[in-house]
Amino acid sequence: MFSAGLTAFVRRHVPTRDSVHSNRLLRPFAHRLTDPALWRLHRRSVPRAVALGLGIGVIIPFMHMIVAALLAIPLRANVAVAAGFTLFVNPLTIPPLYYAAYRTGQWELGRNDFAFKPPNVHVSGEAAQFMQWLHDASGPWALGILTIALAASLIGYAVSALLWRGLLAARWGRRRQRSVVD
């Protein structure tokens, strides 16, 4: 069964309390990270963690696991799931994701031009032209990244909450069938 294999995989790879306490980088946060609610797979903590991991993964393309894990503490989200869902953004998905963010930002700002060619502005030197182009393109990129992060977070939250609900319904159905048979 898929869920049993996934559960076993997660249990093997999630750090234990002792490993968190022994890690010198995590020691300042160890008293908060050892809270069992942050590591338990729960109907509220998992969708929060999925939304957090997807949102942070899109907004911050590097060191996103650490940021998501630290933000999971005050948000009461599952730390391991939040860190794991940041892996949606990886070296293979960054170029198409950021291209989509740029095009989305352009559409939201009402710009139809494609600014991947440095514009003809009156600045001297190629480095100055590149900096001007980067300045012109940063608005659509920033807006597009925020839009995609928000959309990914909302969709991730909704889908994970519905999947969680479906898994619970199936489990309760199997339990009811067993009690009827016995």
User: Residue 87: what pLDDT?
Assistant: 87
pLDDT at 178 (0 to 100): 84
Q: Can you tell me the distance from the alpha carbon of 114 to that of 119, in angstroms, rounded to the nearest whole number? A: 10
Mean pLDDT rounded to a whole number for the chain: 81
> Could you give phi then psi for residue 24, rounded to 5 degrees?
-70, -30
Question: Which ranges of the chain have pLDDT less than 50?
Answer: none
Candidates 114, 143, 139, 117; CA nearest to 130 is: 117
The pLDDT assigned to 59 comes to 92
pLDDT of residue 153: 95
Which 3 state secondary structure label does DSSP give 76?
coil
Is pTM beyond 0.75 here? no
pLDDT of residue 124: 65
pLDDT given at position 15? 63
CB atoms within 10 A of CB 56: 26
Backbone angles phi, psi at 179, to 5 degrees: -70, -30
Find, among 111, 135, 108, the residue nearest to 123 by Cα: 135
Q: What is the pLDDT of residue 39?
A: 77
Under 8 Å CB-to-CB from 45, ≥6 apart: which residues?
Answer: 37, 38, 76, 77, 78, 81
Alpha-carbon distance values, 177 to 39, 163, 165, 168, 182 (Å): 31, 21, 18, 14, 9
pLDDT at 157: 95
Q: Token digits for 107?
A: 């559409």
d(CA 111, CA 139): 11
